[in-house]
Amino acid sequence: MPSENVEVLRGTLDLLILKAVSGGPVHGYAIARWIEEATNDLLRIEEGTLYPALHRLETKEWIGAEWGTSGNNRRAKFYALTPKGRARLRQERVAWTRYAGAVFAALAAPPAPRSA
């Protein structure tokens, strides 16, 4: 995959996190790995970006968190979707699908005519 650094817009990161936790409780590292794998390694989320986003989503009550033990016997915080988060994920999925469709349509359209 390309080695360019692709920045993730805040709303996009929130949506990806909500999707990552929609299957059940997962810890932060697993969320970051899921985003990388789901985007074919195009998007890499660093800890300094991920954990503030997780905290922000907790504050909005879109995700909840509980301490537990990871697969390698380490203490980890596990994040899960709340009912508010599930509703937000549905809303955001519709909005982003429509937005992406509009961008793809614009990219497929012929360029604007030249000005005289």
d(CA 19, CA 14) in angstroms, rounded, equals 9
Q: Is residue 116 part of a domain?
A: no
How many domains does the chain divide into? 1
Which residues sit opposite 75 in a β-bridge? 69
Q: What pLDDT is attached to residue 71?
A: 83
Q: What is the pTM for the complete model shown?
A: 0.84
Q: Which domain holds residue 23?
A: 10-105
- Residue 115 domain-assigned? no
Domain-embedded: residue 114: no
Query: What is the DSSP annotation of the chain?
Result: ---------HHHHHHHHHHHHTTS-EEHHHHHHHHHHHTTTS----HHHHHHHHHHHHHTTSEEEEEEE-TTS-EEEEEEE-HHHHHHHHHHHHHHHHHHHHHHHHHHSPPPPPP-
- Do the domain assignments include residue 113? no
Q: Provide the pLDDT confidence category of residue 10 given band limits of 50, 70 and 90.
A: low
- Predicted confidence at residue 5, as pLDDT, reads 45
**Model confidence at 9: pLDDT above 90:** no
Q: Which residue has the tokens 């985007």?
A: 39
pLDDT tens-digit readout, 22-81: 999 999 999 999 999 999 999 999 999 999 999 999 999 999 999 998 888 889 999 999
